[in-house]
Amino acid sequence: MYETVVLQYNIGMQDLQKLKDELKAINGEYAGIRDVPVEERAEFGRKLNEKKQSILAKIAEVEQAAIDEMVEPIDVTAWSGVNELIPEFYSVTAGSKHPLMTELDRVIDIYQMMGFDVIESRQLDDEFHMFDSLNFPKEHPARDGYDTFRTEEGLIPPAHTSTMQHRVLKNFKSNLDEGKAIAVVVPGRVFRNEDVDATHEHTFYQCEGVYVSETCTLGDMLGILREFFEKYYEQKLNIRTQPGYFPFTEPSLEFMIEKPKALGGKKGDFLEMLGCGMIHPNVLKMAGIDPVKYHGFAWGGGIDRLVMLRYGLEDVRNFESGNLNFLREF
């Protein structure tokens, strides 16, 4: 069957080449029209055009015939060499999950066990959701601090998953009317105009958390975060906070955990893991939620950093590099 297809293909290609040679010759004849008497040029051009259109029609017929006679269509994305030439690192039997996706699923599972809904973030957003809805005043210098990319149309590849916070508050506001809390986590890919090195990457993953109720406190937030990190690293952890600044939370904190012993941590060695705080009243009002009756807290941190600490990895660039030796380790 294979030999038949190849034979038909070769014959078709020979016919096609002859027709293309004829077409090339006709195109050359057009250059000679200046040598034809003026009164004969119209007729000369008409005959050349008819001849050219006839050949073009025949070329289309040959190409279609070649397609129709194929026993099966050609997969232009398939490997074109014979099996013995396929490099060893191309697996033709099985694939695997990227380590970031495996760990992201683990993160989501922990939050879902704690009762959180999950909403995926966007990969393109607008100025309003990226800044305005999060209490960034116009011309505020913090807008520049995010080193955002922008498209020609003015859209923004999100620099943080907080870009979804306004949507979460609005879309889940009915929970509050029913006497339930808003409890949502938002995983997603984010983009920043960073100078890439072993600890900085222009593309990475974050997970945002949003919680709103009538009675929640900062203590509830610290309890949730401590529970998450202990579940993720499978050990008891000491935690610490220090003051921070984010326009969309007040007070704002930087949340730290004691470096796990498995990673060479000693008592008193703390690592900053994420930013967090009580949702600013302006952010709640922007979403139509009464900040006098309801309170909320939010947090956001990188998934890549979580995974690097869990496995003792030293170069964040490996996640986006396509390095098969690195990926095989997982």
**C-alpha separations of 238 from 206, 221, 241, 251 in Å:** 23, 15, 11, 21
The whole-number pLDDT of residue 127 equals 83
Tell me the per-residue pLDDT of 77-103, one tens digit each, with 9 for 90 and over.
665 554 554 455 555 566 677 888 888
Query: Which of 185, 189, 188, 130 is CA-nearest to residue 155?
Result: 130
For the chain, give every domain's residue range. 2-78, 99-328
Which residues in 302-316 are b (16+ Cβ under 10 Å) and which e? bbbbbbbbbeebeeb
The whole-number pLDDT of residue 9 equals 44
Kindly give the interhelix angle for 2-29 and 38-68, rounded to the nearest 10 degrees: 170
Q: Please say whether the beta carbons of 169 and 216 come within 8 A.
A: no
Q: Please say whether the beta carbons of 193 and 159 come within 8 A.
A: no
The whole-number pLDDT of residue 96 equals 75
| Window from 51-55, 69-73, 326-330 with minimum mean pLDDT | 69-73
| DSSP conformation class of 34 | G
Give the residue-averaged pLDDT of 29-38: 74
271 confidence band (pLDDT: 50, 70, 90)? confident
Give the residue-averaged pLDDT of 175-185: 93
CATH 3.30.930.10 fits 99-328, yes or no: yes
Give the residue-averaged pLDDT of 36-45: 78
The whole-number pLDDT of residue 11 equals 46
> CA–CA separation, 217 vs 243, rounded Å?
17
Q: What is the side-by-side order of every strand in the sheet holding 270-279?
A: 117-118, 182-191, 203-213, 295-302, 270-279, 249-258, 239-243
Q: Is the peptide bond before 251 cis (omega within 30 degrees of 0)?
A: yes
Q: Which helix (H) or strand (E) holds 278?
A: strand 270-279
The whole-number pLDDT of residue 93 equals 60
Tell me the per-residue pLDDT of 214-231, one tens digit each, with 9 for 90 and over.
999 999 999 999 999 999
The whole-number pLDDT of residue 7 equals 39
The residue type at 213: S
- Angle, CA 99 vertex, CA 93 and CA 105 arms, to 5°: 105
Q: Please say whether the beta carbons of 29 and 48 come within 8 A.
A: yes
Give the residue-averaged pLDDT of 99-115: 90
Q: Which residues contact 273 (CB under 8 A, 6 or more apart)?
A: 229, 255, 256, 257, 301, 305, 306
4 confidence band (pLDDT: 50, 70, 90)? very low
The whole-number pLDDT of residue 136 equals 82
